[in-house]
Structures are given as structure tokens and as C-alpha cells.
A and B are shown apart, each in its own frame.
Chain A
Amino acid sequence: MSKKPLQFIHNGRAEAVFVEDGQNLLDVLRREVGDLTAKYGCGQGACGTCTILVDGQPQLSCLTLAETVEGKSVETTGGMMDGSELHPLQAAFMDHFAAQCGYCTPGMLMAANALLRQNPNPSRDEVVEAIGGNICRCTGYQPIIDAILEAAGKMSQRRYG
């Protein structure tokens, strides 16, 4: 099977890999780049655990043909930390016990990340809408929603405080 060169920005760093025709971006991230933070769940666009950001917009990496991100910025949960410091969303997820089995967490974090970039002060309903494509089978969602709202508040304080 032939391979094609692919270059993109992965969590702020230039990445160059070879991809197979038809290979999805999640597979490339995990196998070729070695970033295991985005998870494979359903492969159908139903669970959201593979959510990443492409040029700042949320996308499902399992449904993204890898070569479509040529030259684009791809962000995963693996790039959220600032050195050894957790991103406010990650810290809030810990504080609120918003992860139980943890399988949905990377997708939830990236969906929330996308929301807070576009809307730094979301309402509870807007948070629910933002994670509407992400399934969690453990937490009942409330701790996740609480965590996102708390992170939004802390990030606003940092910005304006």
C-alpha cells in the first residue's frame, strides 16, 4: 500500500509523517506520532472520545481523513498542560471527580476547550450543548459540567483579575 507524506502542526510543533490512503487522523496520531491521548471509542462519530481541535475547531479524529489536515494545526489533550502545570480544565476535572473510568475524558476536555475559546463565560445550558456529542457512561455528566463551569470562572479571573 502506498504512503503519502503529511505535515501538520501537532500541539504547536511541526510534525512530518507518512500516512496510508484512507488512514484516519486518530490512527496517525496514535501510531505514527505517538500521541495516545485521543482515544478510539466507536469509530462512528457517536461517542466523541477522539475529539481534537483542528485549527481551533472541534473535530472527531476517527472520522477525519488524515491527509485533510495537511498544513493545519492539530491539538490534543496531550498539549493542554503548560509545562508541569495542568490546564484549568484538567485541574477542575480532578477537583470535581469528573473522570471515573476516564475513557471519555480526553474528548470531554477538548470539547470544553473549544467551547471556552469561543465563549469564555458559558451558561450551564451552553456547556451541556458543547459536550452534547460526547458520551460518558460513569459520571452522570454533572461533575463534568460543574468542572467546566468552574474552569471557565477561574480562567476569567486570570484574564481579568
Chain B
Amino acid sequence: MSLQVTTCASLDEAGRALSASQTAKYLGGGTLVMRWVNEGDQSFNEIVRTTDSAAQRIDISGERVTLGAGVTMAMVAEHRDLVFLAPAARSVGGPAIRTMATVGGNLFAHHPYGDFTTALLALDAEVTMAGGQTQPLETLLAQRDRAGLVMSVTVNRPRNPSDFRFSKVARVKPKGISVLSIAALLPQQGGAISGARIAYGAMAPTPVRMPSVEQALEGARLDAAGVSSALARATDGLDPPTDPIATGWYRQEVAPVHLRRLLLGDSA
């Protein structure tokens, strides 16, 4: 099957081109789509892309941070006002991948990829689609195979950068594919956690929020006794996938260990 590349001048035009075809894929940085092309994937016969520079815009207004879908991991990692997101961006591949891989693409990366999305999920990210409609990232992830073109992702910047923590667990150093990744937003009032957000990557078919862990952390202190209830619920409702990186059983066993380390510090 021959492949056709459609290059659009604007994101809106690209969105229309994508929705007009049942067999088109959108090309962001290329790390997903070109891989499929190289593998001879016959399930699509058109690539849609845009040259619209708006896709690579980073807007910071007060506490709101909006990342264009075409913003790369390298751009996030190097941005002086996105220090809180830098560890998650740097966890994605080596430098060459980070030059290419985009925020929008990471939302659609299949298990066990998508570590940056895990971070966005813990920051209550909202996704704006081409056409202007918005939806929570969780909603998009639940139906991403039928989603249209993402224009941008907006998150709230943590009031205190140390409130946001991210950890990627891999077996290969310095860079490997996730056994799991964890993102935690842990704002505190008077020494107690208030408004916790916990998200996992590689523990389910898509990155997932962990409401039961979040509830257990509400009002707790960040010490061994305070987080014990949350750790007991660390894998509530999860049936992690098995893949060449790790079995589901292994992921289930080690997730509480790594959650504890993230909450209490590496030596915990």
C-alpha cells in the first residue's frame, strides 16, 4: 500500500484532514508514526502533519502552563519556568529522541511508554483539541484511539516546586523502558497533605490516576506512619500488563516500594 503525506499549514486544517480519513495518522515528532512506517504497518495509508508554529508554543500565564502538542521533550527540559516538569521530560529516551518526541505524541504512546503523560495526569492536565473543545486528560486517555487531533495541554504549575515529584523505574541505566513511572503532587497545609494527586505509568494500558491512594494521603503527614495507609492501597484495582520489561506480578509487587521511596525519599 502506498503512503501519502499531507502537509497542512495550520493545526485546524490538519485536524480536519485527520478527521476526514479513517486511515490517516498524525505525525508529530515521528517517534511513533515513523516507527510504524519502518515496520511496514499497513493499517494506515496517509500521514497528516502541520508546519504550524503554534503547535510548538509554550504559554505561561500565572499558574497556568499551556504546552502546544508539538512542544518537544527537549524544549520542556530546557525551559527555565518548567523545572518541575524537567525530570519527566528527561526520562523520555536519549537526547535524540527528546529532540523529536512531542507532548502530544506522548499522550498516544502505547504501554509501556507515556511517562511524560503520567506527570501531566498528576497535574490535572486539560487537553484542548483542534477545533477548541477541551477535556480532562483522563477522558482523552479513556478513548484515545478515537480521539482527534490534540492542539495543546494545560496544567497548573505547582505552587511549591517541591510539591511535585516524579520517578521512573527502569532496569537499564541510564535509560531504559519503564517498569513503571510514578508522579505525585503533594501540596501541604499545616504539615498535612491536601489535594494529593498520584498517577502511574506502565501499570495499566494507559497512564492512570490512583484515587484510592490520593484519598488515603488526604490529611496525612509525609512520614512512614502517615503514608502507610496509602501504601497499603498502592495497587488497588490494578492489573498491570506483562511485557518483555516486566511481568504484571512484578509490577504489582514493586509499585508500593517505589511509591514509598517517592513519598518519603530514595532511602526510605
Interface of A with B (CB < 8 Å)? 1, 4, 20-22, 24, 43-45, 48, 51, 54, 57-60, 62-65, 67-68, 111, 114-115, 128-134
Contacts and interface: CB of A to CB of B under 8 A. Distances in A.
A46 B236 CA distance: 33
The contact size tier of chain B is 20 to 34
Interface string B66-109: 00000000100000000000000000011111011000000000
Contact of B100 (A21, A24, A63, A129): A63
A57 B5 contact: no
6 contacts: A21-B2, A44-B38, A60-B97, A64-B34, A115-B95, A133-B96
A130 B47 CA distance: 31
The 4 lowest CB-CB distance pairs between A and B, nearest first, are A133-B94, A22-B3, A43-B38, A58-B96
A59 B37 contact: no
Interface of A (DSSP majority class):
mixed
Contact of B93 (A45, A54, A64): A45
A136 B35 CA distance: 21
A58 to B, nearest CB: 4
B27 A65 contact: yes
A58 B96 CA distance: 5
Contacts of A58: 95-96, 99
A54 B37 CA distance: 21
Contacts of B94: 48, 111, 130-134
Nearest to B47: A22
B174 A132 contact: yes
B93 A24 contact: no
B4 interface: yes
A114 B74 CA distance: 13
Contacts of A45: 31, 35, 93, 97
B229 interface: no
Interface of B: 2-5, 7, 27, 30-31, 34-35, 37-39, 47, 49, 74, 93-97, 99-100, 174-175
Nearest to A4: B5
A115 B39 CA distance: 30
A132 B175 contact: yes
B186 to A, nearest CB: 27
B96 A68 contact: no
B37 A22 contact: yes
A23 B52 CA distance: 21
A44 B5 CA distance: 20
A58 B5 CA distance: 24
Nearest to A107: B96
B34 A62 contact: yes
A20 B5 CA distance: 9
B30 A65 contact: yes
A43 B27 CA distance: 16
A128 B94 CA distance: 10
B49 A68 contact: yes
Given A21-B47, A64-B34, 14 more contacts: A4-B5, A24-B37, A45-B97, A48-B94, A51-B96, A57-B99, A58-B96, A59-B100, A67-B5, A67-B7, A111-B94, A132-B94, A132-B95, A133-B93
B264 to A, nearest CB: 25
Given A57-B74, A133-B175, A63 B95 contact: no
